[in-house]
Amino acid sequence: MNVIIIEDEKPSARRLSRQLAQLDVEASTMLHSVEEAIAWFQNNAHPDLIFLDIQLSDGLSFEIFDAVDVQSAIIFTTAYDEYALQAFKLNSIDYLLKPIDDDELENAVKKYKAVKPDAQKMTLDFEDIKKLLVNPLEREYKKRFTAKVGQHLKIINADEVECFYSENKGTYAATSDGRNYLLDTTLENLEVELEPKIFFRVSRKHYVNINHINDIVAYTNSRLKIKLNRYIDQEIIVSRERVKDFKLWLE
């Protein structure tokens, strides 16, 4: 399998290369800018798979495809929660949120190997994806959710939700009145619906609302534990990989 990495931060590119090596996948080439990538694709056979950072030092990586008809499968990588990650999932093999988790990377590679898309049939509508990469200040985020309670529909205002969490394959909203409501959605879908200044995904299982955080305390293995005003059903632990971004988000 011929794999390349397009990532403007060289330490991140090297780290991803090492992670892939642990999965017996060799990244033959690392590119670091739109300009460098265009030149490379114009003079080399296209790889089977590209790990593609969205924001490069000289522009969005989509500009590469304006200049070159790339015939490769793509796994997007991004550090920006506010990007419309659902669109990438629909148009690519997968996406990975940086810093890249080893297990999530392994799952993405397994998914690629299982699908092995025919390069000639890869159709990525980058124009549609780019339309979703608008300034987050200009985007409209979801203000209300609905949950079925018996024969009724309960309207839940987003600002009343202390956290969203997953449990037993269900996604729940825990509200400031101490109630938990089952929603017809997933945490992955919420990534494109929630206001990123208000909600942060601290782990695979929890999104928290900054306005309902009561306390933050040090936890084992350089992690953090969050205490909300009412929600106590599960411990909310900020995963070690997301502690740095979480601290930046708090500011």
216-227 average pLDDT score? 93
Read off the pLDDT of residues 128-151 as tens digits, 9 standing for 90 and up: 555 555 444 455 788 999 999 999
Q: Three-state SS for 159?
A: helix
- Flag the least confident range among 82-91, 164-173, 176-185, 207-216: 82-91
* Average pLDDT value for the chain: 84
| Integer Cα distance of 130 and 139 in angstroms | 13
Query: Are the CB atoms for 190 and 200 separated by under 8 Å?
Result: no
Q: What is the pTM of this model?
A: 0.51
DSSP designation for 223: E
pLDDT of res. 93 = 53
